[in-house]
Structure 1
Amino acid sequence: MSELKTCFKRVDYDLAGLLHYIDIGDIGLPDIQRPFVWSNAKVRDLFDSMYRGFPVGYLLFWASQAVQGVKQIGTGDKVHHVPSLLIVDGQQRLTSLYAVFRGRTVLDEDYQGRRIEVAFRPRDSKFDVADAAIRRDPEWIANISEIWSSGKSSRKLVNDFIHRLSEKAPLTEDEEEAISHNLDRLFDLQKFPFTALEIAPSVDEEQVADIFVRINSEGVKLKQADFILTLLSVFWDEGRKALEDFCRHSRKVPSQVGGASPFNYFIQPDPDQLLRVSIAFGFNRGRLKSVYQVLRGKNMDTGEFSAERRESQFRMLQEAQNKVLNITNWHQFLSSLVGAGFRGEKMISSQNALLYAYAFYLIGRNRFNVAEHILQRLIGRWFFFSTLTGRYSSSPETVMDSDLSRVRVVTDGDLFIRMLEDIMASELTNDFWGITLPANLESSSARNPELFAYIAAQNKLSVPVLFSHKKVPELLDPSLKANKKPLERHHLFPRAWLERQNINDLKIINQQANFALIEWPDNIDISDTAPTEYVPKIRSRFTDEAWKSMHEYHALPKDWETLPYQDFLQQRRKLMAAIIRRGFDSLK
């Protein structure tokens, strides 16, 4: 006989009951101050549907295996510190309802505070998003949160509104009756029925994720990081808040925050990304699945859950996260990227490579006490290498887990350095530089990691801008804000000219080898002129030595302007690979 059993039960609630359970902590709704992605218009539609008596979907809860009645790692004012139910599906709906009924502010995706203001016109039961005109019009209740958060009775609310409206124009008895009825119906939305499916506590997170994906009409996929962040909400909420504060401040210039700030020009991290760094640094794990189980307090041998084990693992996570969110660590790491020639997010093809490089920086600095001047170059090289080779582009967790497994047997700083250098040397062979890399440069992608490595190498080598006396690093500063970019990508063989030569395939026209960074006035002047025409004119502006050096560092073959286009591309790809190698070797 089949042993498959139903893994959920149906439970009915009214809205007031749901909100009460959230208030006392029985239902683990994450902090209202987390990014909320619904628009006010969508919240308006939710209330309109409820008002009309339409179904608005069921909720999906997961019964917690957490041990009750134990010391919590986080602090809070909930009656029950450990929720018995965690929300899997319906978080945006419950957050909307909780924010409106309790009059709470929410944060948008950019961590900017906003209030959900849904307006209601009792005369005709119309809902809308509040605007300036609605707020001036006495026909409207501009923010329905006042209905429930004011603490007034429904009778008091009705009388006050009718009195205010009567001051504008007298109301008939029928109008007063209709308005009173409609306001009572709005007030009674707190009795709206919801059906919840509660998944049994014996179901593991992979099955929960599978259930969620199968029943979610929007096809949103839950990730391991989502479950771990939920655990932080339950057992260490100040830790999750610290993650989110760090991410929020990384999106604001320092003057908006005051004092030290995680703001930078490379990445605006999300909490789950920094969580990955903490897990890699603190637990030597690239895969989040096993860490999730450990953080729940599970003994991987017996399968039993223990509050003591959970608290011990959360202490390890806390120590790791404190290092990850340390502003000095963060900016010292980012300076290693600058030292490797990378100047901002437009040169970052893989955020995974950046985040995992940060984990290795923390390991080298905090675990093995590698001298900062050595660590800076090492991590700069590692990032250059990992982004150039696309090391974390495919199956990043698996690759990182393999890398971290090597760290587990390392005992000192010298061995740590040697480990990373050995990994790099094993992949960056002469065949890579002479065959693989030129072949990879045969691409028309604007986000090609080899292209970014080429620009980083030019930046590191302080190369002069093509056809200019200025240096590439001077004009790659991401803090420069102008109407036009200081540097533009220029077709050395202009597109219009190539098309006149019957070369129309954009994949060939837009080859990386056909581009160079030049100042925008030169780009405009060259326009669609043939290289054999514009190059001699520009050549007259430079000495023989400057011209030769410029060609060398911009990987331009001798007399390139006279070469057949395909020959030019082939020769330049090899020269570009040589420049990338010189830039990388300069980091030793």
Structure 2
Amino acid sequence: MCSIISTNRASIKYHAALVLLDARALFSKIKVADLLDPSIQASRAAVERHHLFPKSYLSRQGIAATRETNQIANYALVEWGDNTEISDQAPADYLPVMKIRFSQAELEEMYRWHALPPNWEHLDYREFLEKRRELMAQMIAEGYKTLVTGEGRDVAATEEFELSAIIVNGESETVEFKSTLRTNLHTGSKDPRMELAVLKTLAGFLNTNGGTLIVGVSDDGSPVGIQADEFDNEDKMNPHFVNIVKSRMGIPAMTALHVHFDDHADSRVMVVKCRKSPTPVFVKDGNTERFYLRTGPSTTELSPSQTQDYIKQRFHV
């Protein structure tokens, strides 16, 4: 159980979407907006974040790392009484008890609001997270639409919601998060390995199908902010990034990248959008040139023979 509403920007946007859509809390007849009303006085919060797959249950399945159990997509807003009743039961055990309170139409609406895929209680946990992230992003977009009048659009707000949707969905073949560009958070010092990790990801995107790298966000989507890299300002960080790309990946690689800075949970992040490169991109690592591509949500280095075969197939050279 968790009684503190998340300060993660993606969670806030999703909760805001529920308010905008006039949604009710999960397993409740009460609207999210009413449960989040700060004027409600109680010894315990009226609404709590419930682990849809409880932590104790996941631990029994061999999934105990906080980073895995506390995924944004594993949380839902419920009344605190329901949170207590559910405790550490398996979803397949507690859901039937909760469902009998509602009609089929109410359940369908509830599943849509709370981004729950069909038969979610029987899904593998990681498959559930993947499916729910996609549905949560759709709800954020739907909530935003309620703010739009006519054909006019607030471009800044649209981009902010798009970034939020990317972060809610988590890392994938075309999305990766890096906490920093050059700073090792464990030592607090500049570390060339951090820059190499960024370049590997970019090369992987360029050599595969493109993608988006967000610097200033941890693997689980939590904000770190570019301030961790201790640049004087964004105007100093941007040319530093451009220089390392040009010097270690080549000028053509830089032409396939678009860099901008954005807000995430009261922090600034650097967003690098990569187009699919028309030519192979290598990364200089000392006296060695390395070739990378994306394989699912990770970046893989190919051996020389694998690189040769891939380039023939992908770039026809």
* Length-normalised TM-score, structure 2: 0.45
Q: Which has more helix, going by share of residues?
A: 1
Greater strand fraction, Structure 1 or Structure 2 = 2
Structure of higher CA gyration radius: 1
